[in-house]
Amino acid sequence: MSDREAERIEFLKGAGLADARRDPLPGDASTRRYERLTTPAGASLMLMDQAAAAESPPCDPAWTPEQRRAAGWNAVARLSAGRIEAFAAVSNLFRGAGLSTPEIIAVDAGSGFAVIEDFGDDLFARVIEDGEPAAPLYLAAVEALAKLHLNAVMPDVLSGPGGDWPLLTYDAVALQGGADLFTQWMPKLNPALDFGDAALAEWDAAWAPIAAMGEAKAWSVAHRDYHAENLIWLRGRSGDRRVGMIDFQDAVLAHPSWDLHSLLQDARRDVAPELEAVALNHYFECMPGVDREPFLQDYAALAALNEARILGIFARLIARDGKPRYRAFMPRMWRHLEANLQKPGMEAVRGWFDRHVPVEARQ
């Protein structure tokens, strides 16, 4: 028995769940693992397991950009490193805004364990694959975002059953760092791409005003991984509370468009352009104070940055981590990116791609 398994058993014993049946769930691209727990009485719960030392440290709010870069990727991007206390504190924030996140039954943040409510397996993506009309799910997801943007109280430090957690801003350092994954990793996947110092300087200059805009307009909390594989359809609830949220531990203050483009320009599944338009219109109906045209320009710019970031992540997963299945998602991301590059304000970034990434490399 490994030391980690012994810790799991001890935690479950302390939570009164020593007799629960344990069924591991398939892993994802993170270092976190889950098990479904079934009690002798038939109740279903989830064990979340994330060892605190499994990743580079999260960002200290006082760190300078140089200190963040020295500390590693989680500090640069202001990711939580999967910390249980982050999950618990963000869950508390979202539940306070009237949204559906799993109830936390037991937690030991120091050891990296939590037992949480089991929302079941009705992920939006699977439900839609099984024939459920997509529009009601996406419109409910948009309503949940609007409620979050309108109702969340956002202190500098969040509190939860696992302890306190800082609510940081998705700032220009994090945004530019995300975009830079493209230039760092695409040449490793496609050696025909060679970005020299001049090209990299142009890249930085092209994205700089977009990253600065994203930081300047970061006024709402963002889930940050808001898409059909992280939303669960809770049929027994009503309205926007039917949208069960998971994997929100990396939440930050961000431009309010961030979760919208993650949802509607999804890396893993196609969302019909007509549905994207209807969903965006529904957001403006829910948020009548938002100025539509500037918002949509920001939406396209930050979506393009996010798509460059995701393409870099997929290139890294394939080239470094030996996970070729992510190649299947890349054409979709290229289509989204190319469409956004045609929007007003994207001339500098579009020019960079035209000069440095041949059309045949965009697949």
pLDDT at 32: 83
Instruction: Using pLDDT thresholds of 50, 70 and 90, give the confidence band for residue 30.
Output: low
Instruction: Answer whether 167's CB lies under 8 Å from 157's CB.
Output: yes
* Separation between Cα atoms, residue 75 and residue 61, nearest integer Å: 9
DSSP alpha helix (H) spans, the chain: 3-14, 65-71, 73-77, 84-96, 124-129, 134-151, 172-189, 197-216, 258-264, 273-286, 292-319, 330-341, 347-356
Secondary structure of residue 330 in the 3-state scheme: helix
- The token pair that represents 262 in the structure block: 């993650």
Task: Note the pLDDT of residue 31.
Answer: 75
| pLDDT of the residue at 28 | 56
- Give residue 1's pLDDT: 79
pLDDT class of 27 with cuts at 50, 70, 90: low
**d(Cα 83, Cα 245) in Å, to the nearest integer?**
17
pLDDT attached to residue 271: 97
Share of the chain above pLDDT 90, in %: 92
Note the pLDDT of residue 41: 94
List, for residues 252-294, the tens digit of each pLDDT value.
Answer: 999 999 999 999 999 999 999 999 999 999 999 999 999 999 9
Average pLDDT over residues 217-237: 96
Mean pLDDT score, 237-258: 96
| CB 303, CB 261: distance < 8 Å | yes
Percent of the chain residues topping a pLDDT of 70: 99
What confidence tens digit (pLDDT) does each residue in 85-116 have?
999 999 999 999 999 999 999 999 999 999 99
Contact assessment for residue 267 and residue 225, using Cβ atoms and an 8 Å cutoff:
no
Give me the chain's average pLDDT, please.
95
pLDDT value of residue 55: 83
pLDDT tens for 290-337 read 999 999 999 999 999 999 999 999 999 999 999 999 999 999 999 999
Indicate the length of the chain as a whole number. 363
Give the pLDDT band of residue 62 (cuts 50, 70, 90).
very high
**pLDDT at position 51:** 85
Judge whether 73 and 178 are in contact, CB under 8 Å.
Answer: no
pLDDT digits (tens, 9 = 90+) for 150-193: 987 788 999 999 999 999 999 999 999 999 999 999 999 999 99
CB 299 within 8 A of CB 339: no
